[in-house]
Chains A and B, each alone.
Chain A
Amino acid sequence: MKYMIFCHNGWGDFSYKRMLKLLPDREEVLVVGDVMAQDELDYGVDSVSLTNMLSLDLTEYSVIVCSPYWLQTVIPLQPRYMIALLERCPNDQDAEMWNKYSELLAAQADIVGTASERIYLEQCLRREGIFLLSGESPLTYGAVSYRQDTLFLNDYESIWFEALSCLNKGERLEQWVCVQWGIRCKYYVDLVTEYPNHATISYMAATYLYLLGRSPEAVHYLVNSFEQMVLHDYLDCLHSHYRFFSSMAAQTGELVKAINIYAVSVYSEEDRLKVNELWNWLEHGKVDLVKAEIFRLNEDYASAIRTLTPLNTSESKSLLRNNYVQTFCYEDVLRLTEESSLSHEEDGGISFVDNQLIQGTVHMLHNRHYEAVTAILTATTVELSALQWLSEMSSYEESAERMLRSTAYEQ
């Protein structure tokens, strides 16, 4: 497999250099931009200028993308696989833009890696194929020969290696995602025995057990975490902690309990109407819709999507579309709208304007500038405020331009 690396701030700041030695089926590794000669030697990479990169056929490459600003350049080139490495927003970037386009990057990618456990967990609740690129274990899990030496791999390096190997063979990644959850889970569960009064550690143990589908065990850890939060006076935990119980109840199929727990946690009229809707669905036997909505209300979009995907009603497709919107799976939104001829007005789903903005974003990411602007202007015929999206688009393009200028050199 040939790999092409697109760093955010140039090779100097690229924080996964060792990973490049550990890429499976390693044929060729190119880095777009300047790389010091010594590094080229040490890491077995070659640098390539932006211009030269554009002349290559990227359909043969697996691209590693470290910045959301590369999307517009990379997507139209249709790489064989896209590997996204997500980072927290750098100090010199606009957080809103960075975070939004990082989500779009994650949605586009075939596999996502991040060293930040916070980003990792957020993404695990949004989509499939997410991997953590950090850990605490000193144990060795794999050995890979690299030139004359043998490199030892720790737990996350081994998992990432296996996952990328699966990707290269076109196989599914779930098995390795679960292996990683198992390892993280064990780490936190062991830590809880050492620090039973630490709310966050118990919460993490609960979260991983939940991800592994082991809600009955997760509940005990969440209870402990909730108690510790209250005992230590961290009282803003009704949604983060208490409401999480409803997701766990939904996972085990206890839907009456799930709705009741959710109902306790809401006070606004809008939210109470939602509770009524849930009861209504339950009464009519639409248990999957209830499950999916409870997951979504707990921000577990991934579970919601998994629950809704096999269903085939207009209601389920509307909910599915909502989930896709919230997880920035814009192409899925458009596909679903077209496939199911979902309307915009009646189902209370996304509006015409939002649909146009989504179309515009997708066009923009595919570098179809003209179509992007057209979609936005169409939106503005209904809502003038959609114009602000044009300025967002040009902000994005400006940031992308700035990055290109600073990292790639022209020959």
Chain B
Amino acid sequence: MDQQGLINFPSIDKVTIILEMTDPAWAVPSIQLLLLHSEHPIRIIALPGSLEFPPIQQYFEKEAPIEFWSYEAGIDPVNQALGTIETTFAVLMEDRIMVTPRWLSSLIWPCLDEERVMVVSPMSPSEQLDGKLNLWFQSHADLVSYAEDHHPRNQGLWRQVPVLTGSCLLFRKELINELGGFDPLLRSRELKVVDWCLRARMLNGQLALCEDVYVQALHSLEPRRGEKILSDEWNVFCSKWGVERNSYPLKYLSELNISECSMEPFISLIYDPYYITVIVLVSEVFPNRLESWYQINLEQTYSRIQWIGVLLGTHQEQPLSDSEMWGKLDALIKVREVEQWHEALEAALILVKGEAIIFINSSRAYESDYVTRVVDFMYRESADVVVNTGKGIPNLHAQVHIPQEPLPVPLSLTAHRCIEDVGSYVKSIEEFYFIPRSSLRAVYWTKGMEDE
């Protein structure tokens, strides 16, 4: 190791950095610091965290080694990104992380020092267990001063830890080959990372903590998606790892005996986005002119849709041609009497192939990204049932509301997963309703205070 603090490496190819972006105000400085302080050539894959995440390409030069991916509803972008890594080393981090000079080579060092090291983390506020360090700096300049003083003094200092939870992890590509990606049943980042690290240990991989590197981590003033651990997710985690449900917080994980865990550690990275069934309910009592309604409302941005139409009544006043009636539908069920709506719906349900059903009625108008947003919402909130009660399309600031008891909700604003005994359907004179089973995770999105 040379005197000035730079470790001489055998030549390494680029390092891939997968950056999860949650806030443009964080992402921009985070990327800027990555470009500034990474002493090796890097390739950044920037993943937007939501449909509404604004473009930030304009803050960077065209030549900057950054790929801005677009958001896709219903898939885990991190798992997708992990599948594209071709470099020996890669980093998974969130945009809350502000890196420091020579962070990258310091993180790589344990992998060179010990071949079983698979995942490496710096000291930071985002590590919840070993490695947790909260330092306050007024500015980036102060942070750099600290790093330039502290890092060389402790150069190469690293140790093995039983688990990592943080927002900045360097890992070997070969780990992905053997381990795959994050467990899709887990939603909160902390649990996903812990699960991944424990699986790595099942393969005799080691987890390393670099005590010679500190990266700053920003915190959010208000709770963000993926921060809170949901109880059903915690149950899944506990069953999986044989951990007592009451042992939260995670500090007891350090005592876990990995050799007693017998599950298959590999989880495939390959996912297809959700295949969704949209049931289009057209009733003669609904006023819209069908042909134009079909043209507008069935043009959806989401691609993997099975369209099933349910036509109630004879539409004497608006006779339709065959092709008009079909539109984009994959299946069409027609009944002469509106009163037979339940049977028609049952027939439609038999034909469903999607993982979730979204209902649209020809009595309403839907934006072209309605299905995309519903899928996105359902996926992000891990909801079994989604109800749009706001006046319009849900947005980034939509509030989630889970009532004590699920109420009947208009079918035209509802979506639910295809699970057993999900609920029942009823009809009033003018509207169709869905009543979710009470134990389900039914999530209502609202816009401001305009709900119910």
A positions within 8 Å CB-CB of B? 18, 138-143, 145-146, 149-152, 154-155, 158-159, 162, 179, 183
Q: Can you list 12 A-B pairs with a CB-CB distance of less than 8 A? A: A138-B135, A139-B136, A140-B219, A141-B219, A143-B140, A150-B98, A150-B140, A152-B98, A152-B137, A152-B138, A152-B218, A155-B221
Q: Is the CB of A142 within 8 A of B136?
A: no
The CA-CA distance from A183 to B219 in the complex, in Å, is 12
Q: Is the CB of B136 within 8 A of A143?
A: no
Q: Is the CB of A149 within 8 A of B139?
A: yes
Contacts of B216 in A (CB 8 A): 140, 152
The CA-CA distance from A35 to B216 in the complex, in Å, is 34
Kindly state the interface size class of chain B when it binds its partner. Answer: 20 to 34
Contacts of A149 in B (CB 8 A): 139-141
Chain A's closest residue to B223 (CB) is: A182
Q: Is the CB of B125 within 8 A of A139?
A: yes
The CA-CA distance from A139 to B140 in the complex, in Å, is 14
Q: Is the CB of A159 within 8 A of B134?
A: no
Q: Is the CB of A152 within 8 A of B221?
A: no
Contacts of B221 in A (CB 8 A): 141, 155, 158-159, 162, 179, 183
Is B17 positioned at the interface, with any CB of A under 8 Å from its CB?
A: no
Chain A's closest residue to B96 (CB) is: A140
Contacts of B98 in A (CB 8 A): 143, 150, 152
Is B274 positioned at the interface, with any CB of A under 8 Å from its CB?
A: no
B positions within 8 Å CB-CB of A? 25-26, 29, 32-33, 98, 125, 134-141, 143, 216-222
**Among B33, B98, B140, B221, residue most surrounded by chain A Cβ atoms (within 10 Å):** B221
List 5 A-B pairs, minimum CB-CB distance, nearest first: A150-B140, A138-B136, A138-B134, A143-B29, A151-B139
Not counting A138-B136, A152-B216, a sample of 12 additional A-B residue pairs whose C-beta atoms are within 8 angstroms of each other reads: A138-B135, A140-B137, A140-B217, A142-B25, A143-B140, A145-B29, A149-B141, A150-B29, A152-B98, A152-B138, A152-B140, A179-B221
The CA-CA distance from A152 to B97 in the complex, in Å, is 12
- Residue in B32, B140, B220 whose beta carbon sits within 8 Å of that of A141 in the complex: B220
Contacts of A152 in B (CB 8 A): 98, 136-140, 143, 216, 218
Contacts of B136 in A (CB 8 A): 138-140, 152, 154
**Among A141, A142, A158, A183, residue most surrounded by chain B Cβ atoms (within 10 Å):** A142
What is the distance, in angstroms, from A171's C-beta to the closest C-beta of chain B?
12
Contacts of A142 in B (CB 8 A): 25, 218
Contacts of A183 in B (CB 8 A): 221
Chain B's closest residue to A18 (CB) is: B138
What is the distance, in angstroms, from B123's C-beta to the closest C-beta of chain A?
14
Chain B's closest residue to A179 (CB) is: B221
**Among B26, B135, B141, B218, residue most surrounded by chain A Cβ atoms (within 10 Å):** B218
The CA-CA distance from A253 to B272 in the complex, in Å, is 52
The CA-CA distance from A45 to B267 in the complex, in Å, is 57
Contacts of B135 in A (CB 8 A): 138
- Residue in B29, B33, B219 whose beta carbon sits within 8 Å of that of A139 in the complex: B219
Chain B's closest residue to A162 (CB) is: B221
Contacts of B218 in A (CB 8 A): 140-143, 152
